Amino acid sequence: MIDHQSRSVTVVPSHLLGLYKLTSRVLGISEEQASEVLKATTGEKSPLYGDILDITLDVLSTGISESHVKVAPTKRGRLIDAFKLFEPNNPVCEGCGDIAIWENGGQWSVLPEGGLCPFCNGYVKAVKRPEHFENWVNSEMVAPNVTHDLRSVIGIRIPITEKDVKNEHPIAAGFEDAFKEHGVTLLRFLRFLRTGSHARQVDPSGQDPMKCLQALTRPADFGMYSIPVIRNWVAEAANPPATRNPLPSPAVPSAPVGKVILTDLVMRLYTSDEMRMLADGLKEHGSRELPSPPITLSALASEFTGWIERRGFDHDLYALMLEGRPSQANLINAWRDQGYRLFR
């Protein structure tokens, strides 16, 4: 029995060829004529599985008449009985391509996978059925012929296949190489932007999935200031949630907290050597507020977090520190690439 979701799936090419052969041998017409009969009956060149199951004797007779094909009335009823067994799991013959539905002693049945085809003695094999896939917008499983989400945001068509996403939302440089490097698909990355560690930064309301698509086109507007940052985000998407190592830090605060907390956060995020490397990078890019040598770790952390604190706790650099543990170079490059200077 065909399930509800499979009814809306387009018949795969191997099954469609098998249907032509089945219709041809039952009605006693050519495969070309059988193709025309099915097109006239379903009204589709590429019918759905549900379309075939919905064919009644009257509907078939109308299709035959419109195709101008002569078929005995008794044969039409036999074809309807055969169609009742048609479903996405039907195997086909790897030799002649006929579908494994046959009549024996007046009874219709489906040949099991691995059996011999009664028409050419070839072996019957399973057909790879179209798989349902996850809608990145809401994690629901949808039929493989669904291309857009029409329900999540009223009045908006949200593309949910890789092909449609790319056609409707040009992808900025850096993403494709990062996807290949980390083995992440475009749809998986969109799901990460929707629900992962950067979801709040991309869509603060949590109600506008179009923000995720806009982030592919204008990544800098959503915190991905450079190609290294893009690679970092894609790398995060490659790790399943169970294996992620969350930072030993509080969630992004909704109200200001003390500089002492920020300093402690920085000191826990970076080692002593890393902090000294960061100090060198800050001095190189124009810092005038760092204390004179020798620079202690706590002094550097205090100055660094003070700069963040003065610019507000919703600052993108602060969000980067909380949500991902970026390298010192990426923290600096994030601003240099945009024409900013640290500690200006």
The CA distances from residue 196 to 199, 254, 318, in Å, are 5, 19, 17
Q: How far is Cα 122 from Cα 97, in angstroms, rounded to an integer?
A: 9
Q: Which residue has the higher pLDDT, 147 or 271?
A: 147
Q: Is the pLDDT of residue 255 over 80?
A: no
Residue type present at position 11: V
Greatest CA separation for the chain: 100
Residue 260 neighbours by CB under 8 Å, 6+ apart: none
DSSP 8-state assignment for residue 302: H
Q: Which residue has the tokens 């894609």?
A: 234
What is the pLDDT at residue 212? 95
The CA distances from residue 271 to 126, 188, 275, 298, in Å, are 57, 32, 6, 11
Q: Is the pLDDT of residue 299 over 70?
A: no
The answer, as to whether pTM is greater than 0.85, is no
Q: Give me the mean pLDDT over the 324-340 stretch.
A: 45
% of the chain beyond a pLDDT of 70: 67
Residue 79, number of CB atoms within 10 A of its CB: 20
What is the pLDDT at residue 338? 36
Instruction: Collapse the DSSP code of 102 into the 3-class scheme (helix H, G, I; strand E, B; otherwise coil) and give the result.
Output: strand
What is the pLDDT at residue 45? 80
What is the pLDDT at residue 249? 32
